[in-house]
Amino acid sequence: MIDLETPEYLEKVRTAMNSLAGSMLRPIARKYDEAEHTYPAELDAFRGIQVMGRKKKKPVEGEPAKPKSDKPAAGQNLGTVVTVEEMCWGDCGLMLSIPNAGLGNAAIAAVATDEQLERFGSKWAAMAITEAGSGSDAGSITATADLDGNEWVLNGEKIFVTCADRCEAVVVWATVDKSAGKAGIKSFVVEKGTPGFTLDHLEHKLGIRASDTGTFVLANCRIPKDNILGSAEVKKSTEGFKGVMKTFDNTRPMVAAMAVGVARASLDLLKEKLEAAGAKLDHAAAPNNLPAREKDYYMMEATLDAMRLLTWRAAWMADNGEFNNTEASMAKAKAGRSGTLITQKVADLLGPLGFSRAELAEKWMRDSKILDIFEGTGQIQHLIVARNVLKLSSKELK
């Protein structure tokens, strides 16, 4: 029998993170929505905390190996998606601005060598993939990396980089061999302040305005040879395109959890306003006998549960060493799209209050839109799921 009860350790995580989000993030959500590009100084409380990371791969010499257990892991991924949901219930843009919680940190944690983990593991790292002519198809990037002696020379432009201004390092995707296609794409760690690496400008956005998003230009930017993420030997670097793409199998459930958190915040507000207006929510009532607004609430609540369960399944699989590419994309597609629809519907049902700055409903509606777009659009997630289900390659199903 499937046990859908929240494990005790996750309940403790959820309670603690909800308290933190409610006391620290929610009160300043509007402040930094209006003060776009201003770093939230309140988040300095998180500095020094390694939000994303891993222990070194190599065992300590002389230390006995830990016996394997048949018991499912109380894993980092599942704990992370629970944390992310609660933090985004507080505020999504602020959660994205927490130091050392960048997408680049996830990539470093996933495929860096032990030496690279020592050098870059404590830095706030962003991820630079998208280009003006390369969005959802990450394999079509044109930024180049040419080996010159003991240095890589990087050239190109990267847009829509999250935490561009605040990060300390950036994981840059570039091709070492255009003729090799996706196989020639590798990722490189470029530290801020490196000559030839310039933050060109910051974007003005619809939502998640507390998080800064910018464009980087690389002009003959030289970095050490061993800054290629994974093995410094290109032919041996299996952690290139395929390796770092696997990062998304861990991070897409995180984005799904963001959508769950924002959508839940909207539904919580709607429930509060419905009950204040005299509505008595009764889950035992027949749907067809309910007022339209209450029926809409129940449908959105059920959708929210589906979003969360898909997200938890993908995270649990990752923690237990199971291939979760399909499930990660299913969670991201469902949560990203449904989260957008829920926040829009809530704003609609709240009437004028849903579009007033007196409440955060209109902000949540704006914030949720990006969650259906970044980390791979919903359409791309459907394509990934279809390829896996039909067992077709990217060349066979485009």
* pLDDT tens track, the chain, 398 positions: 567 788 898 999 999 999 999 999 999 999 999 999 999 999 999 886 655 555 555 444 455 555 554 444 557 889 999 999 999 999 999 999 999 988 899 889 888 899 999 999 999 999 999 999 887 777 789 999 999 999 999 999 999 999 999 999 999 999 999 888 888 999 999 999 999 999 999 999 999 999 999 999 999 999 999 999 986 565 544 455 666 666 788 889 999 999 999 999 999 999 999 999 999 888 888 888 889 999 999 999 999 999 999 999 999 999 999 999 999 999 999 999 999 999 999 999 999 999 999 999 999 999 999 999 998 899 999 999 999 999 999 889 98
- Cα–Cα distance, 253 to 91 (Å, whole number): 18
pLDDT for the residue 60: 47
Per residue, what are the HEC states of 198-263?
EEEEECCCCCCCCCCEEEEEEEEEEEEHHHECCCCCHHHCCCCHHHHHCHHHHHHHHHHHHHHHHH
pLDDT for the residue 2: 63
Choosing from 168, 359, 375, 396, the catalytic residue is: 375
Q: Which CATH superfamily is domain 245-390 in?
A: Butyryl-CoA Dehydrogenase, subunit A, domain 3 (1.20.140.10)
pLDDT for the residue 328: 97
Q: In terms of DSSP bridges, do strands 125-128 and 213-224 run parallel, antiparallel, or are they unpaired? A: unpaired
- Cα–Cα distance, 298 to 283 (Å, whole number): 8
Residue 233 — left, alpha, or beta (φ > 0 → left; ψ -120 to 50 → alpha)? beta
Asked if 375 is an active-site residue, the reply is yes
Dihedral of alpha carbons 234, 237, 238, 240, sign: negative
Cα dihedral 5→285→340→326 (10° resolution): 40
Q: What's the whole-model pTM score?
A: 0.90
pLDDT for the residue 276: 95
CATH of 8-56+72-111 among 1.10.287.990, 3.40.50.10540, 3.40.1010.10, 1.10.540.10: 1.10.540.10
- Cα–Cα distance, 335 to 263 (Å, whole number): 9
Q: Which CATH superfamily is domain 124-239 in?
A: Butyryl-CoA Dehydrogenase, subunit A, domain 2 (2.40.110.10)
Selection from 374, 355, 29, 73 nearest residue 203 by Cα: 374
- Cα–Cα distance, 69 to 258 (Å, whole number): 31
Rg over CA atoms, the chain: 22
Q: Which residues share a beta bridge with 201?
A: 215
Q: Evaluate whether 8-56+72-111 and 245-390 have a shared fold.
A: no
> Domain-by-domain residue ranges, the chain?
8-56+72-111, 124-239, 245-390
pLDDT for the residue 71: 45
Cα dihedral 128→134→139→144 (10° resolution): -60
Q: Please return the burial class of 348, using the count of CB atoms within 10 Å of its CB with bins 0-12, 13-18 and 19+.
A: middle
pLDDT for the residue 288: 84
- Cα–Cα distance, 183 to 176 (Å, whole number): 9
In sequence order, which residues have a C-beta less than 8 Å from that of residue 210 and are 6 or more positions away?
29, 32, 33, 36, 40, 91, 93, 94, 96, 97
Q: Give residue 373's identity as a one-letter amino acid code.
A: I
